[in-house]
Structure 1
Amino acid sequence: MLRHVIRRNAAALLIMSAALGGCGSDNQPSAPESAVESKPAAPAQAFGRIDRERLLAADAEPGNWMTRGRDFGRSHHSPLTQVNRDTVARLGFAWEYRTNTNRGLEATPIVVDGVMYTSGVAGRVYALNAGTGAEIWAFDPHIDYQVTRKTCCDEVNRGVAVWQGKVYVASLDGRLFALDAATGKVLWETDTIVDHTRGYSSTGAPEIAGNVVVIGNAGSELDARGYVSAYALDTGALAWRFYIVPGDPKLGFEHPELELAAKTWDPNSLWEAGLGGTPWDALIYDPELNLLYVGTGNAALWSYHDRSPAGGDNLFLTSILAINPDTGRLVWHFQQVPGDRWDYTATQPIILADLNIDGRVRKVLMQAPKNGYFYILDRETGEFLSARNYVPVSWGHVDPETGKGIVDEQSSDYGAYGPKLVFPSAMGGHNWHPMAYSPETGLVYIPTIEAGMVIYDPTKGHDYRRGLWNTGVTSMFSDALDAMLANPEKAPAELRELIRSGELTRGKPDPKTRGLLRAWDPIAGKTVWEFETAGTWDRAGALATSGGLVFHGDALGRFRVYDAANGKLLKDIDVGSTIMAAPMTYAVDGVQYVAVMAAWGGGGWSSAQPTSAAYRYGNQGRLLAFKLDGGATPKPELLPEPDPIPEPPAMSAAAEIVQRGERLFGQNCRTCHSMLPGGPSKDLRRMNAATHANFDAIVRGGAYKALGMPQWDDVLNADDAEAIRAYLIKLSWDAYRAQN
């Protein structure tokens, strides 16, 4: 079986070599396999021609979008003005490209010289004619779907890097590829994962940092030990690797920074659990200062009582690191949450800008991480400049002089004081969705979630499972929390009296979940305007332009345009697909386009809300482009109402077997199987007789692995699988009786 597939469209290559222009109603059909050997009419160096000088002068080429955030500062702001406050009412459909996938799309495309490069599910890559959407080539890394056991949050990918004729992408299973930008041919690939028995995956975009390409990894909900790796641009040879947290000090340290970090951990920490810190996003390079900034992740084992019993700050969890990319050595670090225990990652997108602070222009780094505070740091020295909360916060506060996080133990330490309602939730006040900074308004536009979570440690001690989920806690937020607070009888036994008495919510912010686009003044540290979206899980990236506009999508399938100064809604397009990714804009032949990828996924990917476009229309992956005087946007057909649940098999298992199956399902299956008829994954209450008969072969034998269902025979024995099936039969009977 091929490990990766390149599909090229010879006709599109000929079109690209001649002229770019026109628009189409859909992407062109793929070329037959015989076209793979076709030679492009233009030389390879004409494609993907981005280098340091061109990137530093990005504003001189407003028609291009050369990084995931357009410029090296990742502002997600464009100088283009053809689409503006006066003309945006004319914005309409230009073209679409269908990825033929049904999982989340999170990437922001790159456009250079009329060619669009973007990534899709699991690290697929698409090169398109940016004027028409015609496919030039497509690349599929053909991952081993066993890796999906190790993903917390879908099979997503957040983008590519384009540099000097190459396109770099990481596949979900942790391979890093360099592709020829003209043809999609693999120039080199390398495995970035140091230990495949642990819970590693890769979902972030590579970052070009001087003479190396850098990539991180994910897996802190499992047992990964986070690190970033740097590779030679032309060969893929490993240049250096920086670990985020130490390993067992008895085994020595891979680099000197870890000796410093180890002093902030209990010597008897649960080292075998990896301990997390995975830098799954927020890699950004400053070519002016030659510094690579790395936002690090949460702890593996959320409760410090389990992972580092004596406490400690646990460096370099939830930190921003400044690394010299030539040497891999640390220049400075800033930790946001000492001893993180709530999944408050610092992996959220970072923006580099020059701001006038107290009469002095400072080179700053801005970030709105999960913990609810908006940070401004001097990016040259790491000096703390300010932090103001942009959402309600209860876990603690930030010292206004030093920037150190001060934890309110009584209010938020569930390990010592029992279940707690903590703000923000593990979704974060802001997650991976890119925010945008407009130098014209001076505002940062933040995709925001106001939400709390109930969190507790049900076991008081963790049974570590290698390569599997190891948070060690129970947490509830969003719709589950709302339902539980409204009806305490639906809550776990440990929480019912706390809810009835009001003790759980006393003195806390309103626990109702809200999704908002928030315009934030970073200097004043306050909200200027906000727009509340309909869905509690809404969280899509933002785009700002010199046309005085902000673009933003939502879960309902609305693509909205606001006045950047005051938040007035100027345009609302129903696209029929859930949008999470950040829009971007570019120009071809004098025409400005706005493009966005659309498909539901990420955290909670299997639980698409019934009001969402993904639930109502399905979740086919789409890349949509708009322009002035375009047409009506086509929408997928509405899905039919689900068939009634069929009569399940007879319920013969004993109650204790069903209870065991419920526990095993919660440990191993619930992340992917939400039991929603309109979700991207199968509703297992509707299994037919053949699926019941083949259940063990599917679950333990890997019969459906090629379709994305991993094999579990190393974790579950035959009795375990049968217990899970018994639990599913019970759920099926409950639903069958309820519908009748």
Structure 2
Amino acid sequence: MKRLIGALAIAAVATQLAAGQPEGAGAQWTNPGGDAGKTHYSRLSQITPANAPRLGLAWMAELGTTRGMEATPVMVGGVLYTAGVAGRAYAHDAATGRLLWAFEPQVDMQLNRTACCDMVNRGLAVADGKVFIAALDGWMYALDAKTGKVAWKTDFIENRAKGDNSTGAPEVAGDVVIIGMAGAEYDVRGYVTALDLKTGKIRWRWHVVPRDPALGPQERPELDAALKTWDPKSRWDIGGGGAPWDAINYDPETGLVLIGTGNGGPYATSKRSPSGGDNLYIGSVVALDPKTGAMKWHYQETPGDNWDFTSTQPMVLTHVKLDGEDRPVVLHAPKNGFMYVIDRRTGQLLRANAIARVNWASGVDMKTGRPNLTPESSDYTTGPKIVFPGTPGARNWHGAAYSPKTGLYYGAVLDIGNLIFMTPGQKPLKARGLNNDAALIFTTDVGDAVDTLPPPLAAQVKALPSFAEAVKNPGTAQMRALDPITGKTVWAADMKGWQDRSGALVTASGIMVHGNVAGQLVVRNAANGRIVKTIETGTSILAAPMTYTIGNTQYIAVAAGWGGGGFPFVPRYGAAYTRVNANRLLVFKLEGKGKLTPPPRLPALTVAPAPPAQAPGVTPEVIARGQGLFFANCAICHANRHRSITPDLRRMQPGTHDAFRQILLDGLLVPGGMPRWNDILTPADADAIHAYLIDLQAKTRVEELAKVKAKKPLDGPALTILSNY
């Protein structure tokens, strides 16, 4: 019976937009975005600003993992389905929390190495009596929705010699399920894949960028057109990037599937495509025919992307009154700082307004749809630049909510920039390695970091017109209510820091709900942003909450756990810093009486232990080489901070030092999520990295002993620097 109810619910949501039914989710929440438009809006009204203070825990489930949780659960037929770390899936009774089944894929952890932003998963799909989820290593699983048993599984990675991986949510579009892939910083050529819903057979594949013309004709005519926008001498060996790692929306009203595409690789256009060009179809929204994969229209939001400005951020499909006409539109706020309103029938740009500091462009030309580039956007291969927004994006993967009742768009907005620089010259291909070829320092750190740079580079940075502004106003993170037509902020609530972002839920009764890094679920009045209830959970919350009803009871559910972009850089506040990062599913209701037990506290910080002596023959040159290898390959995960969900390598114990080669090269700790590196690094490379870390640990110990003597805290500021140069 539950399966029948679920099937009917899915059929209903598939026709919701087309039939002109009210927007938003009802009793059920049938995909991570809630309804066909992925509005994260609910028509439920039992929980209101007036009674939200009576919210309490209904039930809680421990998920048994400690990494990032980014997915919004799905509720169909009384079952709450949750996507977890690396492609795990869980089914709970939505009223009681009783575990019905759990699924854990056998993941090739080598792919963990190319997941730039943690072992996350952004959601699952439920259709045809199955649960569809993509594992980190690029296998799509169709699970029996009742039992969790595998009905079929398909490898959808095109070339396993490359750095492809998967962190996004699949999307059901008619009789296919569509999935993207990730890895644009590595050596990939982005694509989406459509699989037969019943059998898992690959039906079609659509590539974001053209392939090396020396390999033969392009696979599709639209790629012939794209090829003209790339230098014939482009870095085809690196792949071009464009990975569509999230933002796939099936639009039943138009019959199209909309795809948001990723950034270019390497980051700098001048290195990727030396003579320039728009580099279609990176940084774009494209509309495909779900039956064939043929492209119907495209709109490129960031032509020739030079700044890691992906367009993979969540899209909202809705209707708005615009210029006297009811228009079916997609609302899209990608990384680049603009809010776009696009006609989803044709791809026509209707509005484009900045929602954060933007200095790479002064605006968007509404006649051509192209950004008006500024001198600040010029090529940083010729010298350092400070660019707003930064690579974390004005908006990122955190789900936004749109209320047709208020006409407002609710979501996390980040206003920080990047100092970007690199060394000159082309670099050789690093197979399945970082090929972004850039060093990034966020403006939140640039004032402290500038004097640690080589003096000539530091002088160049200080001479930049934007340097003084970046030091004076390094940036903010806010939860905002925006007018999507004008980009204007209606209300804003400050968050703690740049990492403090989460997804949003809004309801017809006027509540807006989100989490934070401090470990709180916050309920606001959607009209003015005022807090009406704060629930202390003890676990950082990044994912968007959702809501559903069972019987006469409305529930609010959220997946909790720190991770995702910037996951090594745990902020020095809140639950992510003070408590074990235990992943949990938290469900609330009015008059909930459950006991919400926070995870255990982390032990107090202690001085770094003394490292072993350096091996014979280690010289300053070896240590410097090890530092370069560390920042090129390891720093993206190992930030070496006092608190992180990856080990602080300044605090290695004797046994870890003894087994360093086996861990790094041979995969000794693969079961714990640490991949082996013997396909890229040699024993001499491993020894050089180890020498650097021994040197770093010794220096850290000296510094921390001095802090103890001076009665200063050990947890001083650490710079957020990501580099590959």
Listed as ranges, the matches of 1:471-482 within 5 Å are 471-477=436-442, 479-482=444-447
> Secondary structure of 1:53's partner?
helix
* Distance in 2 (alpha carbons) for counterparts of 1:675 and 1:306: 30
User: Once superposed, what is the RMSD of the aligned Cα atoms?
Assistant: 1.8
Q: Tell me the CA shift for residue 47 of structure 1.
A: 5.6
* Distance in 2 (alpha carbons) for counterparts of 1:283 and 1:137: 27
Change (3 A) 1:247 1:674: same
Change (3 A) 1:491 1:49: farther
Change (3 A) 1:702 1:585: same
Whether contact under 8 Å (1:50, 1:162) holds in the other structure is no
Q: Does 1:72 find its partner at 2:31?
A: no
Q: Does 1:678 find its partner at 2:637?
A: no
Q: Tell me the CA shift for residue 463 of structure 1.
A: 2.2
* Distance in 1 (alpha carbons) for counterparts of 2:465 and 2:13: 58
**1:104-128 CA distance string (max 9 Å, x none):** 0000100012101110000000011
**1:583-625 CA distance string (max 9 Å, x none):** 0001112111111111111111111112131121121101111
> Secondary structure of 2:679's partner?
coil
* Distance in 1 (alpha carbons) for counterparts of 2:347 and 2:456: 43
> Secondary structure of 1:700's partner?
helix
Query: 536, 540, 543: which one pairs with 2:498?
Result: 536
Whether contact under 8 Å (1:157, 1:204) holds in the other structure is yes
* Distance in 1 (alpha carbons) for counterparts of 2:548 and 2:123: 17
* Distance in 2 (alpha carbons) for counterparts of 1:621 and 1:688: 27
Query: 550, 553, 566: which one pairs with 1:591?
Result: 553
- The aligned amino acid for 1:558 is Q
Q: Tell me the CA shift for residue 61 of structure 1.
A: 7.1
* Distance in 2 (alpha carbons) for counterparts of 1:109 and 1:116: 7
Change (3 A) 1:567 1:222: same
Q: Tell me the CA shift for residue 694 of structure 1.
A: 1.2
Q: Does 1:505 find its partner at 2:467?
A: yes
Q: Does 1:104 find its partner at 2:68?
A: yes
Query: 325, 328, 337: which one pairs with 2:293?
Result: 328
Change (3 A) 1:361 1:433: same
Listed as ranges, the matches of 1:398-409 within 5 Å are 398-402=363-367, 404-406=369-371, 408=373
Query: 87, 99, 108: which one pairs with 1:144?
Result: 108
- The aligned counterpart of 2:716 is none
- The aligned counterpart of 1:154 is 118
Q: Does 1:640 find its partner at 2:590?
A: no
Whether contact under 8 Å (1:48, 1:167) holds in the other structure is no
> Secondary structure of 1:273's partner?
coil
- The aligned counterpart of 2:390 is 425
**1:167-226 CA distance string (max 9 Å, x none):** 100000000111110001111110000101111000001001111110010010101100
- The aligned counterpart of 1:307 is 272
**1:388-427 CA distance string (max 9 Å, x none):** 0000100013434235333535212233541100000000
- The aligned counterpart of 1:288 is 253
* Distance in 1 (alpha carbons) for counterparts of 2:674 and 2:410: 38
Q: Tell me the CA shift for residue 674 of structure 1.
A: 1.3
Query: 134, 147, 152: which one pairs with 1:170?
Result: 134
Change (3 A) 1:518 1:265: same
Whether contact under 8 Å (2:446, 2:471) holds in the other structure is no
Q: Does 1:628 find its partner at 2:590?
A: yes
Gaps of at least 5 residues in structure 1 are 1-41
- The aligned amino acid for 1:174 is G
Whether contact under 8 Å (1:296, 1:316) holds in the other structure is yes
TM-score norm. by structure 1 comes to: 0.91
- The aligned counterpart of 2:327 is 362
> Secondary structure of 1:364's partner?
strand
Listed as ranges, the matches of 1:186-201 within 5 Å are 186-201=150-165
Gaps of at least 5 residues in structure 2 are 706-725
Q: Does 1:718 find its partner at 2:717?
A: no
Q: Does 1:53 find its partner at 2:15?
A: no
* Distance in 2 (alpha carbons) for counterparts of 1:387 and 1:509: 28
**1:433-479 CA distance string (max 9 Å, x none):** 01000111110002111001001122332222111100011111154
Q: Tell me the CA shift for residue 513 of structure 1.
A: 2.4
- The aligned amino acid for 1:636 is P
> Secondary structure of 1:271's partner?
coil
Query: 361, 378, 382: which one pairs with 1:396?
Result: 361
* Distance in 2 (alpha carbons) for counterparts of 1:51 and 1:434: 21
- The aligned counterpart of 2:194 is 230
- The aligned amino acid for 1:560 is V
* Distance in 1 (alpha carbons) for counterparts of 2:41 and 2:627: 48
Query: 507, 521, 531: which one pairs with 2:483?
Result: 521
TM-score norm. by structure 2 comes to: 0.93
> Secondary structure of 1:51's partner?
helix
- The aligned counterpart of 1:604 is 566
Q: Tell me the CA shift for residue 48 of structure 1.
A: 5.7
Whether contact under 8 Å (1:685, 1:732) holds in the other structure is yes
Listed as ranges, the matches of 1:185-224 within 5 Å are 185-224=149-188
Whether contact under 8 Å (1:49, 1:164) holds in the other structure is no
Whether contact under 8 Å (2:361, 2:371) holds in the other structure is yes
- The aligned amino acid for 1:362 is R
Query: 450, 453, 458: which one pairs with 1:491?
Result: 453
Q: Tell me the CA shift for residue 490 of structure 1.
A: 2.3
Whether contact under 8 Å (1:349, 1:435) holds in the other structure is yes
- The aligned amino acid for 2:12 is E
Whether contact under 8 Å (2:25, 2:43) holds in the other structure is no
* Distance in 1 (alpha carbons) for counterparts of 2:456 and 2:664: 32
**1:131-186 CA distance string (max 9 Å, x none):** 12111000011101111111111000000000121110000000011111000111
Give the number of equivalent residue pairs.
696
* Distance in 2 (alpha carbons) for counterparts of 1:387 and 1:225: 28
Which stretch shows the higher mean deviation, 127-136 or 460-469? 460-469
Q: Tell me the CA shift for residue 509 of structure 1.
A: 9.6
- The aligned counterpart of 1:549 is 511
Listed as ranges, the matches of 1:455-470 within 5 Å are 455-470=420-435
> Secondary structure of 1:736's partner?
helix
Q: Tell me the CA shift for residue 499 of structure 1.
A: 4.2
> Secondary structure of 2:264's partner?
coil
- The aligned amino acid for 1:598 is A
- The aligned counterpart of 1:241 is 205
Q: Tell me the CA shift for residue 643 of structure 1.
A: 3.3
- The aligned counterpart of 2:652 is 687
- The aligned amino acid for 2:545 is P
Change (3 A) 1:494 1:518: farther
Q: Tell me the CA shift for residue 724 of structure 1.
A: 0.8
* Distance in 1 (alpha carbons) for counterparts of 2:700 and 2:293: 56
* Distance in 1 (alpha carbons) for counterparts of 2:369 and 2:473: 26
Whether contact under 8 Å (1:65, 1:111) holds in the other structure is yes
**1:328-378 CA distance string (max 9 Å, x none):** 111100001110010101100000001011221100010010000000011
Q: Tell me the CA shift for residue 507 of structure 1.
A: 6.9
Whether contact under 8 Å (1:76, 1:435) holds in the other structure is yes
- The aligned counterpart of 2:715 is none
Listed as ranges, the matches of 1:551-566 within 5 Å are 551-566=513-528
Q: Tell me the CA shift for residue 637 of structure 1.
A: 2.4
* Distance in 2 (alpha carbons) for counterparts of 1:397 and 1:501: 22
Whether contact under 8 Å (2:525, 2:531) holds in the other structure is yes
Query: 226, 233, 238: which one pairs with 1:268?
Result: 233
> Secondary structure of 2:58's partner?
strand
